[in-house]
Amino acid sequence: MRTAYKCRAYPDPDQQVMLARTFGCVRVVWNRTLAARQTRWATEHRSTSYRQTDAALTAMKREPELAWLNEVSSVPLQQTLRHQHTAFQAFFAGRARHPRYKTRRGRQAARYTRSAFRWRHGQLWLAKTTSPLRLVWSWPEIDPARLDPTSVTVARDPDGRWYVTLHAQVADPAPLSATGRAVGIDLGITDFAVTSDGKRIPNPRHLERKAANLARYQRRMVRKRKGSANRRKAAAKVARAHRKVRAARADFLHRVSTRLVQGHDLLVLEDLNVRGMVRHRQLARAISDSGWGTFRVMLAYKAERAGRRLIVLDRFYPSSKRCSGCGYVLATLSLATRTWVCPSCGARHDRDHNAAKNILAAGRAVAACGADVSHSGSPWVQSAVKQELSPATERIPVLQGGE
């Protein structure tokens, strides 16, 4: 199993100079290669292969005005070409947006493979440096001296913090013991999640709680003259405030996802169209602050490691409009309606709890045999055709009269 260990780094002044120079070279190679790709497509209508970008990098290094590219290790420069090639493959496959130009004000990173670093007894030596890079190891149960990383990523955040990520191949963990429990999860904004057993996980709204501080820091920053030292200091404060929000959100999502995976053998949730939902003018910031996409990724890899099963239902499955008792489906249900009474059986439903129970029922049907996802007396059910989204993702069929 491939995994990564991210830890804080504290490079000395000489190492900071060398790494900053490497970041600059990586940025120049990325931007020039991206510009050449776009120009060739606009003029010749032809794509650019990785081999062609590799040859262009060799020509770049021979140019007198770019001779300083030879002062850093060539491995991070080669890796940035690979990353750009992978980024374009993801873009053409519809999995990601078009690659953009890198800026010196954003996060800076460089990746080193085995030929450009040395890992001995828990210490890291990078190419073009003469002393080990000081790291703070955060996993006391893992001996860093026994680790065999295949690649290393060194990064500097906009707030000035340095990080090192060690990518390594480790043994698969032992699966967790069975609990005999399953859970359906309905994600929301008022409550981050409502589970099929009636539990509500409040939404901490990390960005909303820090919005006033962020606005104050941003107002101070825009008053400073561009290019001045005071503006750089103010920008670092803004970056630190954003980093605290990201860290608090990630901590919350890790805790919730770990608790759900450890307590249930089967986890079921809906495939939400987050990219489309964030276009809503009133709800965009709240949806982005919730971190639903990150939460789903965490559930997927944690369930795989723990030997659990995660099922993701089709986004058009009418979980909120379907009665979890008799299967009746409402024609319409506005977002403002939080409770409703079933016209068929008279049951009173909380919108989110009812959706979570329907999600669990549909997930159990898929987990059992992948056949019809049905409720007694429901005429809206179609035959199930299971579709694989990813190694940890499955879908159920779209139901007629869905949302």
Q: What are the residue numbers of the active site?
A: 186, 270, 352
Going across the sheet that includes 309-313, the strands are 200-202, 191-195, 182-187, 266-270, 309-313
Q: Are 279 and 204 in contact (CB under 8 A)?
A: no
As a whole number of angstroms, the longest Cα–Cα distance in the chain is 81
Both tokens of 316, joined, read 């058009």
* Distance (Å) of CA 352 to CA 196, 243, 278, 314, 325: 9, 31, 20, 17, 15
Q: How many CA atoms lie within 13 A of 299 on its CB side?
A: 26
d(CA 243, CA 14): 26
Cα torsion 132, 135, 139, 140: sign: positive
* CB count in 10 Å sphere of residue 212: 9
Both tokens of 283, joined, read 């709800």
Closest CA to 325 of 367, 358, 353, 352: 358
| DSSP per-residue letters across 38-98 | HHHHHHH-----HHHHHHHHHHHHHSGGGGGGGGS-HHHHHHHHHHHHHHHHHHHTTSSPP
Question: With 0-12 CB in 10 A as exposed, 13-18 as middle and 19+ as buried, what is 13?
Answer: exposed
